[in-house]
Structure 1
Amino acid sequence: MGGRAGEGTVESSVIEVEDVNAWHRVVSERLMPLAIDSSANPDFKASVTAQAFAGVRLARVRAGKHAAERTHRLAAGGDPHYWLALQIAGSSTISQAGRTAELAPGELAVYDSSMPYRREFPGDSDTLVVLIPQQLISLPPQALALIAGLRIGADEGMGAILSAYLSSLAAHLHELKDGQGASTVHALLELVTAVFSEQFGLVAPHRSARRLDEVMRIRAWIMDRLGDPTLDPAGIAAAHFISTRQLHVLFHEQGSSVGTWVRERRLDAARRDLQTPGEDSGIAAIAERWGFGDPAHFARAFKRAYGVSPRAFRDASRKEHPAS
């Protein structure tokens, strides 16, 4: 299951397995498809406690020595999510986009489900993972491009606050109910955005939680139609039976405008395609795929966002990560 999680709660009872095939099935159903390798651990065992609220999935995972990989093929499917991982006990390494984050207890890392990655657990471990639909994170494109494989220190600042919050959440995950879970997720999104903003030297957007659920539904609808060049505020508002003015107010409450949010999501999607090894589509075709009808306009917008032209970005990505 790589698609969007439902709005309700996933059954939170502990699921225990004693072989890698069963674990592969559980991970695919409760989180998203991964390639699992436990060949170096014939006595592999694992367990997971999972819940989902407002489209965000949370899981406490205890497992023996193994490796989990999001391959190129798997990364190409399903809705894109950010994985936020808190190491509770044991250790692990996460490798993505040329970065390797080594995690000790209390430390955090973020990785991107739409890009290949590998996570290795050299021994018994205990981890909390949070899967956040990417449309819920409102940051400029240049910041989003730096999230993959990012290690977040937990010694000071917002990283320390987020680590403590997630540690407490992991301890009480099984106790959360629907209303409590939704409130918890809203608070978590605020903390995660504040952490990212601190990491990249940005001012965290002020967001209202009052109508966040409605904004999330509208954003998910937009993401499903991101490549439609006719997508505009009037059409988005009409599809959700609200006025264009109401739509603008909803997005303003979340710290952005409708047009800016759509443009930034399109640029981010195009960046991922340009960065993907083996993606041979022309730059103009990629621009069109994500709703940019004018290649020149796309090139200017891309350079404003990332500081380089689409062609220079693709060339640099291919040198760093050649297709296998």
Structure 2
Amino acid sequence: MVVVLDTGSLPVAERVDAVQDAVANTEIPAINRFGAHHGELWHRLSVWDLGAGVHATRVEGTGLSVTRGPKHIRAAAPERVGLGLQLGARGRFSHCGMDAILGVGKLGLTDGTSASDYACRGIGGTKLVIIDYEQLGLRVDTVRAAVTRLEASPLYGLVIAHIAALGEEGDIPAGPAQLMLGSATTQLVRALITTAADARQQRDDLHDTLYLRMTNFAQQHLGDPTLDAEKIARAHHISLRQLYSIWAAQGVSPRQWIMTSRLEGARADLARHGTTVTVSAVARQWGFVNAAHFTRRFRAAFGISPREWQRTHNRP
């Protein structure tokens, strides 16, 4: 995770305003209050990008409370979900009919379109995974229904371990690895929420989000040269005929989608790294086993060779 702010290096009189500004720039409108512990006030805010529509954030320090009421929702109700892991000290959480004490190491689920109230006294905080509804692929009603039922999911412990480990091994630069981690995190959160909701909602949501789940799976495995429609269908326990029918409704074939996604990813990496990496290495990273084939495909798609594109973005 990238540390956005650590108030420990600031004068005490400036710390609250600094945290308010940092939170306002990264999260959603709310009343944020920050308290002291034994006369000392400090907070640290870290953020980690996990790809489009997905990021993790950690806020920790002395007393902290966050309140989102009707006025804040009218001002901005972003369509996204937050799944928080309680750190250091117990927290009180009220949201969607739930009024509970979150013990250390417990999860709290938040729908960004609904009012909520969270408070943590003493030294503690929360580590959140925040996902846009568009990426999550679940209905708001499903998320709200799962708020009070998270521990009923058989995946509860697995998701706790995943969120606890996020960012602890250092930052992962933009590229396939980051996309795969963001996709895996999204799938875990989706599975947790779906299995915590009732059985009918599970069936409805799994059907409604099948295309999204297949593209997320494909995105996660773009570096695998053997990725194809059959592998995607097998992973989602459907027939090839059903897969092609779902994909046809989107106006693209699985093969076209995979090729386009690989080329776009490779183009971004070549621009990002310039000539510090070889064209063949980037090609392999994105699932191309033959550099010449990659070059032909790249030129056909973008009207320029990979090496020429790489050179135009080379850093002096």
Q: TM-score, normalised by structure 2?
A: 0.58
Q: Which amino acid aligns with 2:81?
A: Y
Partners of 2:252 and 2:187 in 1: how far apart?
19
Change (3 A) 1:67 1:157: same
CA distance 1:162–1:57, change in 2 (3 Å): same
2:70 aligns to what?
Answer: 72
Gap change, CA 1:183 and 1:249, over 3 Å in 2: same
1:37 aligned partner, one-letter code: R
Distance 1:138 1:146, change over 3 A: same
* Gap runs ≥5 in structure 2: 221-246, 255-316
Distance 1:142 1:31, change over 3 A: closer
Spell out the pairing of 1:49-128 with structure 2 (5 A cutoff). Answer: 49-52=46-49, 53-76=51-74, 77-128=76-127
Give the drift of 1:140: 5.0
Taking structure 1 as reference, are residues 40 and 116 closer, same or farther at Cα in structure 2, changes over 3 Å only?
farther
Question: Cα–Cα, structure 1 residues 96 and 190, in superposed 2: closer, same or farther, change >3 Å?
Answer: same
Deviation at 1:124, TM superposition (A): 0.8
CA-based RMSD: 2.9
Shift of 1:212: 5.6
Partner of 1:34: 30
After superposition, residues 15-34 of structure 1 pair within 5 angstroms as 15-17=5-7, 19-34=15-30
Q: Give the alignment partner of residue 2 of structure 2, picking from 8, 12, 18.
A: 12
| Per-residue Cα deviation, 1:197-240 (whole angstroms, up to 9, x for no partner) | 21123257352225569xxxxxxxxxxxxxxxxxxxxxxxxxxx
- Give the match for residue 45 of structure 1: 42
Of Structure 1 and Structure 2, the greater helix share is in: 2
CA distance in structure 2 between the partners assigned to 1:134 and 1:141 by the alignment: 8
Tell me the secondary structure at the aligned position of residue 178 of structure 1.
coil
Partners in 2 of 1:210 and 1:38 — Cα distance? 40
Deviation for aligned residue 1:144: 3.3
2:157 is the alignment partner of 1:160:
yes
Shift of 1:153: 2.8
Partner of 1:137: 136
Counterpart of 1:55, as a letter, is: G
Unpaired stretches in structure 1, ≥5 consecutive residues: 1-10, 214-243, 252-324
Counterpart CA distance in 1 for 2:87 and 2:34 is 21
* Alignment check: 8 A CA contact 1:31 1:57 kept: no
Instruction: Quote the Cα distance in structure 1 between the aligned partners of 2:253 and 2:69.
Output: 37
Contact (CA 8 Å) 1:15, 1:47: kept in 2 or not? Answer: yes
Structure 1 CA distance for aligned equivalents of residues 252 and 143 of structure 2: 24
- Residue 176 of structure 1 aligns to a residue in which SS? coil
Corresponding residue of 1:195 = 192
1:245 aligns with 2:248: yes
Match runs of 1:173-188 below 5 Å? 174-179=170-175, 180-188=177-185
Measured in 1, the distance between the counterparts of 2:253 and 2:83 equals: 26
The alpha-carbon distance between structure 1 residues 150 and 170, as it changes in their structure 2 partners (threshold 3 A), is: farther
Q: In structure 2, how many angstroms separate the alpha carbons of the residues matched to 1:75 and 1:249?
A: 37
Cα separation, 2, equivalents of 1:245 and 1:151: 36
> When the two structures are superposed, what TM-score results if normalisation uses the length of structure 1?
0.57
**2:3 aligns to what SS in structure 1?**
coil
Q: 1:60 to 1:246 in 2, by over 3 A?
A: same
Deviation at 1:181, TM superposition (A): 2.2
The Cα shift of 1:150 comes to 3.5
Q: Give yes or no for contact 1:211–1:250 (8 Å, CA) kept in 2.
A: no
SS in 2 for 1:128: strand
CA distance in 2, matches of 1:150, 1:249: 39
Task: Tell me the secondary structure at the aligned position of residue 137 of structure 2.
Answer: coil
Residue aligned with 2:163, SS: helix
Name 2:267's counterpart in structure 1: none
SS at match of 1:13: strand
1:15: how far off?
1.5
1:253-274, CA deviations, whole angstroms, 9 ceiling, x for partnerless residues?
A: xxxxxxxxxxxxxxxxxxxxxx
Aligned residue for 2:188, secondary structure, equals: helix
Deviations 1:123-153 (A, max 9, x none): 1114211111122223356423414x44633
Deviation of 1:94 (Å): 1.4
Task: Give, as a single letter, the amino acid of the residue that structure 1 aligns with 2:114.
Answer: M
